[in-house]
A and B are shown apart, each in its own frame.
Chain A
């Protein structure tokens, strides 16, 4: 009997130990699940924001929503509206609503050139008015690589066209590079010929100059002789000239005193004569015999240099 009693107390002890272990395990499991939920944000407060886009291209459920590069939420729903536009609802952490202004713009762009798409909320300039929960924001789509490639193509196409035209002109055998090269070749040949001719002519000039210098030397000798002759005769000639000049001066001095009164008298006499003649012309009966001056007609000559009969060219 004592043995059975001892076995009952051991079982009870085992039962109590098992219950304690199960309780601790249950508490640990609850703590772990709670921690996981907390980590997943299940208990965090969220806010909803929305926007309307023309197309749902590159927008899908779960797409990250960022502010200033930090992930603050994700796309909750993407629905096609009756008017053909796409309505997108985002769910973001309510703590970050303090950065979202009413005039904020949601921009879809790629992370890097070929990275995944992401929605970035760009706050507007008016920081005082914050967006409310379930507010509708503006949406814009940043150009991706294709758009950039298209823009680049649009810019490059005219340049390529110009290059094609220039290449065509350069390749033109009449006006292009071949013709220019031919002209350059021809010019070079002409230049060589010109240089050769120039050299020859310089040589000829040199010879001619030698001859001219020889002649000049002879002329200088002749001039020297002539100057000698002039030198011997000049003093006498100068003496004679001086005498003539003296005589002319004397005559001029005499004339200076006698001629002006004579001229004055002559002028007065001429004026008197003109007056007398004019008077006589206008006096009766002489005026009847004098014709009044009438304009005379010039003798006409339509070909004064007799050039009119020269045969036309």
Chain B
């Protein structure tokens, strides 16, 4: 080895040593329990993304308990909120309502109220929704609110549950551009499905069919069997209502698709609905 090379090597070693010594001091290690709580929450989020809502709810409940034991109210509320969301996905609306109501953090109030509205709508308590929506409008009325699109969509759902078709269409169509900007695909599909149902109610079957098919396309991309089956049921209803030539066979075909998807996904209630619709359409 030449002397020049040796010098370069020594210089490099010195530089590395200086960089190492000059870097930021080693932060104190994270406490074991806090790491455990964060890990539980991370696992819960992973389970939720995998569609295992039951395991997700369990992990978030445990996360909330651990964070409470560390006196971290904000983190506990975050876990509780995610637990409520998982329970809603499981269809346990009453539990979700209770857990969402326990969230007291100001920064999470909008999300908590949105979940409460969802739970109340699932439970069919339309009257209880209006005060919650009023509070949400106060908290999230401005255009800068990130949850504005979801708020509009829930307002549309509340209007639909209350039988106000015009308001349903207005709110759902207002929600669409905001949700598109945020790339909230699931919510976009939800909005289209709602628009399709409202258009069907106004006997605008052409627009209804287009909206339902858009919802179906998105749900297929997202691979959501329950929603796909619902979309096919809706398409079947629209075809039946359209009353065009060949509409009966189109409707039956749509119901059959709904039935096969529901049966394959093990969704017994939806499969029964599809079978019933199929029998009614064949009469």
Report whether B190 and A308 are in contact in the complex, using a CB–CB cutoff of 8 Å: yes
Report whether A309 and B49 are in contact in the complex, using a CB–CB cutoff of 8 Å: no
Partner of B187, one of A298, A300, A305, A310: A300
A303–B190 Cα gap in the complex (Å)?
7
CB within 8 Å of A: which B152-190 residues: 153-154, 157, 160-163, 184, 186-187, 190
A81–B219 Cα gap in the complex (Å)?
116
CB within 8 Å of A: which B226-282 residues: 226-227, 230-231, 234
What residues of chain B lie closer than 8 Å to A295, measured between beta carbons? 38, 41, 45, 75, 78
**Given contact pairs A300-B187, A311-B197, A305 touches B226 in the complex (Cβ within 8 A):** yes
Stretch at the interface among B2-10, B85-93, B97-105, B133-141: B85-93
> Shortest distance in angstroms between A274's beta carbon and chain B's nearest beta carbon?
11
A302–B120 Cα gap in the complex (Å)?
12
The answer, yes or no, to whether A312 is at the interface (CB within 8 Å) is yes
Question: Closest residue of chain A to B269, judged by CB?
Answer: A305
Interface centre among B41, B91, B190 (most CB of A within 10 A): B190
Partner of B85, one of A298, A309, A310: A298
**Given contact pairs A298-B82, A302-B157, A307 touches B122 in the complex (Cβ within 8 A):** yes
A296–B42 Cα gap in the complex (Å)?
7
Question: Closest residue of chain B to A278, judged by CB?
Answer: B29
> Shortest distance in angstroms between B193's beta carbon and chain A's nearest beta carbon?
4
Report whether A306 and B186 are in contact in the complex, using a CB–CB cutoff of 8 Å: no
> Shortest distance in angstroms between A121's beta carbon and chain B's nearest beta carbon?
86
A188–B163 Cα gap in the complex (Å)?
50
> Shortest distance in angstroms between A292's beta carbon and chain B's nearest beta carbon?
9
Partner of A302, one of B29, B39, B118, B161: B118
The answer, yes or no, to whether A301 is at the interface (CB within 8 Å) is yes
What residues of chain B lie closer than 8 Å to A310, measured between beta carbons? 197
A293–B153 Cα gap in the complex (Å)?
32
Report whether B114 and A309 are in contact in the complex, using a CB–CB cutoff of 8 Å: no
Report whether A293 and B29 are in contact in the complex, using a CB–CB cutoff of 8 Å: no
> Shortest distance in angstroms between A151's beta carbon and chain B's nearest beta carbon?
64
A284–B118 Cα gap in the complex (Å)?
47
Report whether B20 and A284 are in contact in the complex, using a CB–CB cutoff of 8 Å: yes
Assign chain B's interface to a size class.
Answer: 35 or more
The answer, yes or no, to whether A235 is at the interface (CB within 8 Å) is no
**Given contact pairs A302-B150, A303-B190, A309 touches B184 in the complex (Cβ within 8 A):** no
What residues of chain A lie closer than 8 Å to B160, measured between beta carbons? 308-309, 312
The answer, yes or no, to whether B221 is at the interface (CB within 8 Å) is no
**Given contact pairs A284-B20, A306-B230, A311 touches B201 in the complex (Cβ within 8 A):** yes
The answer, yes or no, to whether A304 is at the interface (CB within 8 Å) is yes
Report whether A305 and B91 are in contact in the complex, using a CB–CB cutoff of 8 Å: yes
What residues of chain B lie closer than 8 Å to A296, measured between beta carbons? 41-42, 45
Report whether B226 and A312 are in contact in the complex, using a CB–CB cutoff of 8 Å: no
CB within 8 Å of A: which B1-45 residues: 20, 23, 26, 29, 38-39, 41-42, 45
Report whether A300 and B190 are in contact in the complex, using a CB–CB cutoff of 8 Å: no
The answer, yes or no, to whether A190 is at the interface (CB within 8 Å) is no
Question: Closest residue of chain A to B184, judged by CB?
Answer: A300
> Shortest distance in angstroms between B76's beta carbon and chain A's nearest beta carbon?
12
What residues of chain B lie closer than 8 Å to A306, measured between beta carbons? 190, 193, 226-227, 230-231
What residues of chain B lie closer than 8 Å to A304, measured between beta carbons? 88-89, 226
Report whether B186 and A299 are in contact in the complex, using a CB–CB cutoff of 8 Å: yes
Report whether A308 and B162 are in contact in the complex, using a CB–CB cutoff of 8 Å: no
What residues of chain B lie closer than 8 Å to A300, measured between beta carbons? 85, 150, 184, 186-187
Q: List 27 A-B contacts (CB under 8 A).
A: A282-B26, A284-B23, A293-B39, A293-B42, A295-B38, A296-B45, A298-B82, A299-B48, A299-B49, A300-B150, A300-B184, A300-B187, A302-B153, A302-B190, A304-B89, A304-B226, A305-B226, A307-B122, A308-B190, A308-B193, A309-B160, A309-B193, A309-B194, A309-B197, A309-B230, A311-B201, A312-B161
Q: A295-B41, A311-B197 are in contact. List 18 more A-B contacts (CB 8 A).
A: A282-B26, A282-B29, A284-B20, A284-B23, A295-B78, A298-B45, A299-B49, A299-B186, A300-B186, A301-B190, A303-B118, A305-B91, A305-B226, A308-B194, A309-B190, A309-B194, A309-B230, A312-B163
The 6 closest A-B pairs by CB, nearest first: A306-B230, A296-B45, A309-B197, A309-B193, A306-B227, A308-B157
